[in-house]
Structure 1
Amino acid sequence: MRHRLIASLALAALVAPALLNAQAGRATVRGEVPAVQAAEFIGREATVCGEVSSARFAETAEGQPTYLFIGGAFPNHPFSARIWGRDRDKFEVDLTSLAGKTVCVTGEIGRANNRPEIVVRGARNLRIG
């Protein structure tokens, strides 16, 4: 009887964190995800890393976003990061200067134009190098 109780408690300790993540509606991916694999984790919180192939400030587009096309140049990129114009001043670096650099972005992986994307809202969600 005592062994069953211990086994049940151990199982509950293992299962509880997974249930909490599921209840929160968002599971977190541990470790870094290569840009080419980001599509496998749509809807999950993750850190996606790769080389910025090109960066573009869409000054005349609604919301004035800056795009970091990671893992390939637009329109053949497997992943992108979007920084809205209203958030651009939260970064100490010129975002368009990141082409050729390796970056990691953290956030929920969504989908834009049928490709995985993270909207980066602040400097803490962007790591360079």
Structure 2
Amino acid sequence: MNTQSLLAAAVGALIALATGPVAAQDMIPAEQAVRHVGKSGMVCGRVDRARHAQNTEGEPTFLYMGGTFPRHTFSARIPGSIRGNFRPSPEELQGKDICVVGNIQRDASRAEIAVSSPSNIKLADIR
């Protein structure tokens, strides 16, 4: 079993404990999210970088996944209006393995989910 398969299996097990049954085939690796644009899904991976764009309209926070910024393949966009609702804070997710649930859209050559609630992000504590 390769590392990505192991990661997917571990994330699936942890999410199932927290939220109920989740099929491993329903998890989309961040590197493959662009293949699922226009669909709802659960994109999983490590947050390479978290960035609060204070000088951008709406002051969003971006969680970059699927590679090293700026060559990442996926981002989760958290509007500034709800970032205060997150515990842990979005910046504390940097370096953590998470899954983001929502409608997968295209942003330039990448995929993105616009997060509408803290419940759209599930923290997976993989050891």
Bucket of the pairwise TM-score, normalised by the shorter protein? 0.7 to 0.9
Q: Which has the higher contact order (CA 8 A, sep 6+)?
A: 2
Q: Deviations over 1:33-53 (max 9, x none)?
A: 000110110000000000000
The equivalences for 1:103-122 within 5 A come to 103-122=98-117
Unaligned segments of structure 1, at least 5 residues: 1-29
| Structure with the higher helix share, 1 or 2 | 1
TM-score (norm 1): 0.74
Question: Considering only CA atoms, is the larger Rg found in Structure 1 or Structure 2?
Answer: 1
- Out of 56, 60, 71, the residue aligned to residue 65 of structure 1 is 60
Deviation beyond 4 Å, 4+ runs, structure 1: none
1:86 aligns with 2:81: yes
Number of paired residues? 100
Q: Deviations over 1:52-98 (max 9, x none)?
A: 00110001111100000012222100111000101112212110111
Q: Which residue of 2 aligns with 1:100?
A: 95
Unaligned segments of structure 2, at least 5 residues: 1-24
RMSD of aligned Cα (Å) = 1.1
